[in-house]
Amino acid sequence: MPVSKKYIEEIKKQARKAINKVAPYGEDIDLTKFEKHIERGKVESLEMLPELAKEAALMAGVDVEERERSGSYVQMDHSVVYKKLSKLYEGKVELMSTSEAVETYDWLEDYFWKIVQPDTDKYTAQVALNPTHGYFIRILPGQKLEYPLQTCLMIAEGYISQNVHNLVIVEEGAELHIITGCTLSKSDAVGIHLGISEFYVKKGGKLFFTMIHNWAENFYVRPRTAVVVEEDGVYVNNYALMKPVKSIQSSPVVYLKGDRASARFNTVIYGLNDSYIDLGSKIIFEGKDTKGESLARTIADHKSVIYSRGDLIAKTQNYCMGRLDCRGIIFSKDASIYAIPQLISHGADKADLSHEASIGPISEEQVEYLMSRGMSRDEATSLITSGFLNLDIPFLPEIIDKHIKEIIQMTSKESL
C-alpha cells in the first residue's frame, strides 16, 4: 500500500507556507533560476556511464567496478539511471528510490518528513513540492553487510534543481556502511542540489555514513539532514569537501534519544577559490549516558570563506558527555575562517560538555623538527597538512586518497 494521498497533501500544504522562507544561515538563493527538468536513460552497469560522468563519480568516492560494494544507487539529474543490490544480500536489505518506497509502503508515514520538516525553509519546501527521487535504504534486523552500499547523486546539466529526499532505516541490531558521492559531471554547470536526508538508527543498530562532495565553482548546495539514534545505537558521519563550490550551507542534527546512544562527526573542509562554506553539526542529548563528539578540520585558501559551527545541546537530567574539536588553518591572506562552537544545557545538571577551537598557521616547530629528520620544507608542510586532514575512511577508492594528496602538495608551498 502506498503512503496516503492525504498525508502527501498535508506535507505539501505545510511546504507551501515556506516557499519564500529564507534560511537563517548562508546566502539566499533564487530558486526560480533553476527550473529545467532533465530525464536520463538507464545504464546496464556503472562502466557504461558517459566518460565525464564516470570520472566525476570516481572523484566522489564511487567504485564503478563495484568490487567492494554491496549495492549501488546512481541518480543523474532527475532520473535514477542505475540501481543494483548484490544477490548475496537480497532479503537482508532494501534499496530503491524514495519515490518507489512512497508508492510501496504506507508505514513510511512514520518516517517520511518526520524529523526534517517541510516548512523548515524554502529549500525543504522545494523538495516537498517538487521531489526528484533520492534513495531509500532499509537494512533488516540483525543484518550486517560485508561491504558498503554506495550512492551517487550526480548533476550533468546546468540550471536545474536536483531535489532529492533520502531515507535510511537501520533496524534493531543491524549494521550498515554507506558511501555517498554528490558531484557534477559538467564542471561549469550553474545549478543547485537540495538534499533532504532522514536517518533512523534503531536499538543496537550502527550506521556509518560517509559523504564526499565534489562540486564546482558555480554550484549551490543546500542539504538538510536529521538523524534519530535509539538505545545503544551508533551513528558515525564522515564528510569531506575538497573541491571549490559557489555556496554550501548545512548543519545536520542528531537526536540521541535512547540510553547509551552515541554519535560522532568527522568533517574535513578544504576551501578553495571563492568558495562560501557554512557547515556544522548539532548533537542533542536526550537519553541517559549518551555520548557525542564532533571533530572538524578546515583549511581556507585563496578567497574562500568558511564557517565551522558545532552545537552540543543537553536536554537530559541524566549523565551525558559531549566534545567539540574545531581546528582551522589559513593558507591565504584573503581567506577567512569563523569557528563557532556552542554548548547549551537546558537544566542538564549532569551534562559534561566541552569544546576546543583554534585557528592558526602550521606549526613552525613541527616543520623544523621534520626538516631536522631530512625532509625539505615542502615535504614537511605537505606531511603535516596530510595528517591534519586525514579521516582514515575505510573502503574509499585509492583515487580519492591520491587526489587529496595532490591538492595538499599543490597548496603546501603557500602555507607558511
DSSP character string of 29-58: --GGG--B-------SSGGGS-HHHHHHHH
In this prediction, residue 402 carries a pLDDT of: 61
In this prediction, residue 416 carries a pLDDT of: 40
In this prediction, residue 366 carries a pLDDT of: 80
> The pTM is what?
0.92
Report d(CA 275, CA 301) in Å as an integer.
Answer: 9
Q: What is the side-by-side strand order in the sheet with 351-359?
A: 79-85, 71-76, 149-155, 175-184, 206-214, 234-241, 262-271, 290-300, 320-330, 351-359
In this prediction, residue 373 carries a pLDDT of: 79
Extract the C-alpha cell encoding 389.
586532514
pLDDT over 70, % of the chain:
93
In this prediction, residue 397 carries a pLDDT of: 58
pLDDT of 62 higher than 70: yes
In this prediction, residue 404 carries a pLDDT of: 55
Crossing angle between the packed helical segments 377-389 and 364-372, to the nearest 10 degrees: 120
pLDDT of 235 higher than 70: yes
pLDDT of 144 higher than 50: yes
Q: Which of 56-70, 200-214, 248-262, 328-342 has the lowest mean pLDDT?
A: 56-70
| Segment 179-192 mean pLDDT | 90
Break the chain into its structural domains and give their ranges: 5-361, 362-416
Task: Kindly report the average pLDDT of the chain as a whole number.
Answer: 91
268 band by pLDDT with thresholds 50, 70 and 90? confident
In this prediction, residue 401 carries a pLDDT of: 62
Per-residue pLDDT tens over the stretch 404-416 = 555 445 444 444 4
Please count the residues of the chain: 416
Report residue 291 CA to chain centroid gap. Answer: 20
List Cα–Cα distances, 106 to 8, 323, 387, in angstroms.
11, 39, 47
| Segment 288-310 mean pLDDT | 95
Per-residue pLDDT tens over the stretch 326-351 = 888 888 999 999 999 999 999 999 99
